[in-house]
Amino acid sequence: MRVWLARGSPISLKEQLSAQLLLGILSGRYKAGEKLPSVRELARHLQIHSNTVSAAYRGLAARGWVSARTGSGVFVRPTGLQKSEDPRDDLVRTFVAAGAAQGFTLAELQDALARFSSLAHPRSLVVADPDLEFAQVLAAEISEGLGAPVRFTSIKRLLQKPAEDQLALITAAHLAKVPANFPNRVIRLKTIQDVVAGQIRPPGPVLIAVVSRSDEIHHWSLKLLAALGFPPDSVIHHNPRDPKWKDGLASCDIVAADRIAAAELPAGIPAIRFQLVAEDFIAELRAAPVQVQ
């Protein structure tokens, strides 16, 4: 298990560990039913106190991502995110797992699926998230990968005005906010290893600018950069909604921006345009029988 922890960071080791374990689960790197290292084993491997590991595991268990079995260990709970050879298996697994969590029997789910499949409407894609700016970034990445426009909205608006011709794309962190029978598919996000793959940490102190309109992206970038050993005072957050957001960009050693914010950067500012959505998830969407409108 590859985990990066930064000592001396104001972000606690427990939060850093929890964030990376959760990213691993969301991306499918850690499979459903997989046993995670024991508290003692992981604490020894990371050279941290066992109470820190135990607290991280308890937090993930309380949020439903893992389950602790007395005498056996900690196991990843089914989330519908596990990969398979056939992308349709992932859709069925998500549907069955969500329905079972709501107390429906397999027969009831089969009946609902039969009624649902009788609809002849082509389905369009819409990304939904409580953070509207985050939804826009994910939609832009998916749209670029598909070569067709993908809409975005908030989860609240999605539920207020549902449409029969759309399939909602939602991150696993917010899947519980929609009813089990709501047509949706879980967006697989990149792991920390995927995001930083190929990036070489510059020697010596550097000043990093993270540019995004999304509070969610700023929140995660702080944790991920801390895990890579960058102190918080080396990271400056720029939000294009702020009037003076361009000030100081030219003085930064590294400028990292999402798909939307990258287009707003001043001319002459070189930037790393990071991607959050896993490439194989976009490939599965291209292969799925979904009409993008």
State pLDDT tens for residues 179-204: 877 888 999 988 766 665 566 666 67
pTM score over 0.75: no
Sequence-distant (6+) residues with CB within 8 A of 128 are 135, 152, 153, 154, 155, 157, 158, 168, 169, 170, 174, 178
Per-residue pLDDT reduced to its tens digit, 58-116: 988 888 888 988 888 999 987 654 445 556 665 665 565 555 445 555 566 666 666 55
The domains of the chain are located at 13-30+33-76, 87-190+279-287, 193-273
Residue-wise pLDDT for 49-68, tens only, equals 999 999 999 988 888 888 98
Q: What is the CATH number of domain 13-30+33-76?
A: 1.10.10.10
CATH for 87-190+279-287 (1.10.3470, 3.10.310, 3.40.50, 3.30.70)? 3.40.50
Instruction: Please tell me which residue, 200 or 32, carries the higher pLDDT value.
Output: 32
What's the pLDDT band for 250 if we cut at 50, 70, 90? very high
